[in-house]
Amino acid sequence: MDIKIRGAKENNLKSVDIDIGDGLTVVTGISGSGKTSLVFDTLYHEARRRFLDIFRSSSSRVRMPPANVRSLTGIGPTIAVGQNLLNLNPNSTLASASGLHPFFRLLYSRFGTRSCLSCGANLQVLTEDEIVAVIKQKMKKDDVSVTSALIRQTKGSHRTLLELLVTEFGLERVLVDGAAWKKKQLKSDVPHDISIRMGTFTADTKTSQLREAVQTTKALGSNSIAIRDSNSIIVVSMSSVCAQCGSWYGAVEPKHFGMKCIHCGGKTCEKCNYTGLHQKAASVRWKGKSLPELMSLSVAEAYQLFKDVELPSTAKR
């Protein structure tokens, strides 16, 4: 597809119209003729602005201004190598010199797979609709039992909580340490798990009933749901908390992939999974590789990795 620029007026450009076809195109001219204004300030700037706007949150107040152009079509994500390529920082890489590194940070922060630094479990946050879809998919093959975790490995007798749960849901739905509670007083010096059985669902169960179970879980303040059939169990989370161990984790942002580990100063250590990265970025993998591992690939190896890329669904981001 040709790139079509119409009415470019950046800097000294006078409403320039131009078509750029596939292949190598050389933009040449005397100093001050508008080469940089056309290539960098119009084409590259607008392509970069549109790409970054896709991933910027709606609440963000910092936005790149559009290029001074009437219309620009046929563009995709771009990279640009500046004219000062030889004046590089000693730590520069091909990715940073060509402007690709910010895109890799964005790739990892939005589409990477995170694992819990405490227990190693995969971290993923599902919406209400996505959880209902998971339950419905498993219901096609088998009956499904759904439970909601309220307390994880917390010491105490939890007497008041248990009494309230029995009053609200009935004794048969209260689970303590993975088994039905027998109204036996819990040892206060031992950590316990407390869950509520939200129900067993079959292929005939209405979607509204599944949605009600998920909403009840949220109303109870629970962050995770266990979905069990006769062959397996899936634990999913509705917020930034590990569904396995309950550890909280914050959102990972592109900036975290440019920050060094506070424990080793970027020299790699056990705390950062030997990546040298900030703790939030240290456990993120894409295609099974950490960002430093990706940066160590040759151009040919990176091409093989990226040529058939399919980005994951929102459930795995």
| CATH 3.30.190.20 residue spans of the chain | 126-237
pTM summary value:
0.60
Q: How many other C-beta atoms lie within 10 A of the C-beta of residue 229?
A: 15
Strand (E) or helix (H) holding 225: strand 224-228
Q: Determine the distance from the C-alpha atom of residue 142 to the mean position of all C-alpha atoms in its chain, rounded to a whole number.
A: 31
Strands 3-8 and 16-20: antiparallel
Average pLDDT score over residue span 291-296: 92
pLDDT at 314: 45
Burial call 124-152: b when 16+ CB within 10 Å, e when fewer: bbbeeebbbebbeebbeeeebbbbbbbbb
Q: How far apart are CA 305 and CA 170, in angstroms?
A: 53
Confidence of residue 293 (pLDDT cuts 50, 70, 90): very high
Give the model confidence (pLDDT) of 204-215 as tens digits.
899 999 999 999
pLDDT at 315: 41
Q: Topology of 126-237 in CATH?
A: Ribulose 1,5 Bisphosphate Carboxylase/Oxygenase (3.30.190)
For residue 2, pLDDT over 50 is answered with yes
Higher pLDDT, 257 or 83: 257
Q: Find out whether 79 and 252 touch, Cβ atoms under 8 Å.
A: no
Q: How far apart are CA 6 and CA 276, in angstroms?
A: 46
Query: Please, what is the average pLDDT of the chain?
Result: 86
